[in-house]
Amino acid sequence: MGHSKEIPRTVVLTGGIGSGKSSVARLLREWGAHVVDADVLAREVVLPGSAGLAAVVAEFGAGILSPDGSLDRAALAERVFVDPDQLGRLEEIIHPLVHEAAAEQVGAGRGAALVVYEVPLPGSSPFGDQPVVVVVDAPDEVRRERLLRRGLGEPQIVARLASQPTREQWLALADQVLDNGGSEGELTAHVAELWRELTGEDPPVGAGG
């Protein structure tokens, strides 16, 4: 007996860089979840001509712009990922804009089996109700190896891991932990289990559940 499809369960999907968050979101989307990606929204709110970009330039200077007037994300990342103060100032500008956009897009998910808000860090929630916080988890060493394979350099990996919560801090945030310390097949099985729990239904046939 499934949950009502009128008001789908809302899930905040999060986890450290390299934990496998995007892989989980891709699966859920394939299975019919309405996935809202905070990273995408964070890029949209600083597009050329936006109030968001104007605010970022006012804070960090025109040095974080590319010659074509768009945000030079690499230049900005280089500054904020090594300086928690500057990261905090950037987040104060971006987060409210992202929350506003997220609330709108999440509302468009009515009728989906599940609504998922994929977010790199669980700050305050843009939802009125209490969503289920799902944390994708893998040991630090496994995350490092994945990021190396994805082409990130050792210094960037060290800096980014250091700018994030520790594994223990991540786990403390979780209502549900999705273990991704194993193979991709094992991950699919765990996600299928979560799907059943949250929707009361099996994932679509052929989904590996």
Nearest C-alpha neighbor of 27 from the set 193, 147, 191: 191
Q: Which amino acid is at 14?
A: T
Closer residue to ligand ADP (CB): 5 or 150:
150
d(CA 91, CA 129): 23
Near ligand ADP by CB under 6 A, which window of 10-18, 155-163, 171-179, 194-202?
10-18
Tokens of 205: 């046939």
Task: Convert residues 136-155 into a mask of x (bound to ligand ADP by CB under 6 A) and - (unbound).
Answer: ----------x---x-----
CA distances from 78 to 83, 84, 86, 117, 159 (A): 9, 12, 11, 26, 10
- Tell me if 76 sits within 8 A of 64, measured CB to CB: yes
CA atoms within 13 A on the CB side of 120: 14
Which distant-in-sequence residues (6+ apart) come within 8 Å of 31 by Cβ?
113, 195, 203, 204, 207
Residue 18 interacting with ligand ADP (CB under 6 A): yes
Near ligand ADP by CB under 6 A, which window of 48-56, 84-92, 99-107, 183-191?
183-191
The C-alpha angle 33, 23, 147, rounded to 5 degrees, equals 155
What radius of gyration do the chain's Cα atoms show?
18
Q: Which residue has the tokens 């109700």?
A: 129
Residue 175 interacting with ligand ADP (CB under 6 A): no
Residue 20 interacting with ligand ADP (CB under 6 A): yes
Q: What is the nearest approach in angstroms of ligand ADP to the Cβ of residue 155?
A: 17
Residue 10 interacting with ligand ADP (CB under 6 A): no
Near ligand ADP by CB under 6 A, which window of 11-19, 85-93, 98-106, 124-132?
11-19
Near ligand ADP by CB under 6 A, which window of 3-11, 14-22, 82-90, 194-202?
14-22
Q: Which of 8, 9, 21, 115 binds ligand ADP (CB under 6 A)?
A: 21
Residue 131 interacting with ligand ADP (CB under 6 A): no
- Site residue total, ligand ADP (CB under 6 A): 14
Q: What is the nearest approach in angstroms of ligand ADP to the Cβ of residue 15?
A: 5
DSSP lists the bridge partners of residue 198 as none
Q: Which amino acid is at 28?
A: L
Kindly list the residues in this chain that would bind ligand ADP in the complex (CB under 6 A): 15, 17-23, 146, 150, 180, 183-184, 187
